[in-house]
Every structure is written in C-alpha cells, then in structure tokens.
Amino acid sequence: MANAGPSTSASLEKDVSVDNMTSRDYYADSYAHFGIHEEMLKDSVRTGSYRSAIVNNAHLFKGKTVLDVGCGTGILSMFAAKAGAKHVVGIDMSNIIDQATKIIEANGFKDTITLVKGKLEDVPLPMQEFDIIISEWMGYFLLYESMLDTVLLARDRYLKPGGLIFPDTATLYLAAIEDADYKEEKINFWDNVYGFDYSCIKDIALREPLVDTVDLKAVVTDPCLVKHIDLLTAKKEDLTFTAPFTLNPTRDDYAHAFLAWFDISFECTHTKVKFSTGPHAKYTHWKQTVFYTPETLTLYQGRPVKGRLSCAPNERNPRDLDILVTYQTNDEPEVEVHYKMY
C-alpha cells in the first residue's frame, strides 16, 4: 500500500540484527508503523474512492473470492467482505498484519477474511484462483516504491479468466509550473550558506524530485498524458518506458519545473469511480512530484515545450526510480536532466 514514504508492504524479519540492516530493511519494516497507516486511512480521497468502488458495486463482489494484495490494516478486505464477498484473502509482508488480524476479528470478519503474512512470490495462499484482485499499490509519481509488479504477478498467477482488478486503470500526467520562490529557497539556497559556498550540493538537490502540493495557479501549460496503464493487460516490462510529451503554454510566463501527477480509475465498475492526485483536485497524501530544471524556461503561448520522459526501476533497488527528462523550448538546444527518486 502506498503512503507518504514507502508505498509497498514488506517486513523486517526478527533475525535481522540492527547492525546488518540495509536501507531496504528499514523500508521493509516501515509499514509496521501506525502513523503511515493513519495517514493513508485519513486520506479521504484514497480510502473513500476504494470504499465507493467496492461497496457501491456490491453486485460484482457478492459470492466472489477476492485477493487483497498488500492488505495493510485490512480496510479493503473488510470493504470487500461488507460488499458480500464469499471469501477474502489478504496478504502483506509488514508486521502490521498482526494488528490487522485483531482488527478483522474485532469487526466480525474472522470467518470471511483470511490473512497471510509473507511475500506473495514466496508463500502459498489458501486458494489458487480468485474472481477479483484489489490493491492500493500506487506510490509517489505513481511508480516510486509502488508494488504494481507484485499486483501484475498476482494477476498472472491467481486471477481467474475474466476476473476483475480494483483499480484497473492508471494514467500519469506532466505539466510545467512557475515556481521561482520555492526554487530559490530549495535550490539556490546552496549558493550562499551563511557566507559559505555550498554550490556542490546544488546539483544533487536539483536531481532529487520534490513531493509536495502545488497551487493550480502555478501551472503554466496544459497537461500531457505520458503513461497509461491497463492493469488487465500491462506487463512488468511496461514499467520501464520512454514517452514523448508536448506541453502547450496557457500564458506567456516562465517555468522552473515540471510537475507530475496521476489519475486512478475503476473502469470495471457499473457505478464509475475515479480520482486524481493533480493540483486541480482535492488533496491526497501522494501530493504531486516536482522536477526542477537547471535553468528557467521562457514560455510563449503557441510555442510548445517538447521533450521525452524516460522512467526505469533502479538496478540496485527496483523500488527506486531513475528518471530522465529531455526537453527543448523556443528552438534552443535540447536539455537532458537525470533525476533519481530514492
């Protein structure tokens, strides 16, 4: 499940000593912390959308078997059970599943929901086929630390022919923003730190995308769709991609960064449910992702910014992302910037 930090579930085994822990271990056990789950549950757009998609389409769940991938505290499993599912299996690697077991029992779903602790790739499930897969797999920038690859594996291994996935569609968008004040504060700050030159850090700061909320007034171009994912047909290889973009300025202005967000849709539902994490929509814990550019872009209406966005899992840790943005404005030389989300 996604959150303000890591967005997949994993566990830190008890026999791993603190001295031997890696960043992956710390990440893996982060889902055992209640604050992360509190933030996700309080995200009314996130949790309310899943509830509407499941409970308001109860006819799709009645008498069906459901697999909840990355079940966390079990909220989606309980929505499915409430909607009339015959049986729900929730799987999660995080130690939070120990509390989820108590939550499931306290709410009277002990006989309807079975929780499995472990990695989906490695542990056997009590059922070999499911009618529906539900999962809240999204991370920042949609794919950062997401567990979409695990959901696709679950689909290929366990979903019945003609089965449903909740949600089943994700779309990533890109735009440009005017953000001079914050860029000055975040990036140019390093030019003079109490009279000292820290500019060697400037390039590192620039290449680390910022996750934050952006005012819609700061957006200076129309959005451009850069990635569409159909979970029923997508392959793991599709998560490494290069996509062209064309950003049409909505006014003459300057741009200091590119902005990314994603939309999620439950297309299989009769009562349609969609939500957006963009600057035009209600706040979500995913916020938006800001990619600052080395130089200020001068924008004119009628002169689009054209470029390419490439995204690939990091070789050392596939939950991290290597992102390359190449762009050109006003017939000036093409600029290429490498970003890392880790």
Q: Is 101 a domain residue? A: yes
Opening angle at CA 46, ends 155 and 100, nearest 5: 70
Q: Is 12 a domain residue? A: no
How confident is residue 12, by pLDDT bands cut at 50, 70 and 90?
very low
Query: Which is nearest to 289 in space by CA: 278, 299, 274, 304?
Result: 278
User: Is 184 annotated as catalytic?
Assistant: no
User: Is 145 annotated as catalytic?
Assistant: yes
pLDDT of 111 above 50: yes
Residues 184 and 329 in one domain: yes
Opening angle at CA 32, ends 81 and 11, nearest 5: 95
Q: What's the CATH number where 182 sits? A: 2.70.160.11
How confident is residue 152, by pLDDT bands cut at 50, 70 and 90?
very high
Classify residue 281 by its DSSP letter.
S
Number of domains in the chain: 2
- Active-site pick, 38, 121, 129, 145: 145
Name the residue type at position 58: A
pTM of the model: 0.88
Q: Is 3 a domain residue? A: no
How confident is residue 33, by pLDDT bands cut at 50, 70 and 90?
low
Q: Which two tokens stand for residue 245?
A: 């973009």
- Active-site pick, 136, 185, 237, 267: 136
Of the residues 139, 166, 193, which one is the last residue of a structural domain?
Answer: 166
Residues 212 and 257 in one domain: yes
Residues 146 and 30 in one domain: yes
Q: For residue 14, what pLDDT is reported? A: 31
C-alpha–C-alpha distance, residues 266 and 269, integer Å: 6
Other CB atoms within 10 Å distance of the CB of residue 44: 12
Classify residue 334 by its DSSP letter.
P
Q: 177-213 pLDDT, tens per residue?
A: 999 988 888 888 899 999 999 999 988 889 999 999 9
Residues 190 and 114 in one domain: no
Of the residues 148, 166, 184, which one is the last residue of a structural domain?
Answer: 166
Of the residues 166, 186, 208, which one is the last residue of a structural domain?
Answer: 166
What percent of the chain has a predicted confidence (pLDDT) above 70?
89
Q: Is 13 a domain residue? A: no
Q: What's the CATH number where 118 sits? A: 3.40.50.150
Residues 200 and 284 in one domain: yes
Domain containing 196: what range?
Answer: 170-341
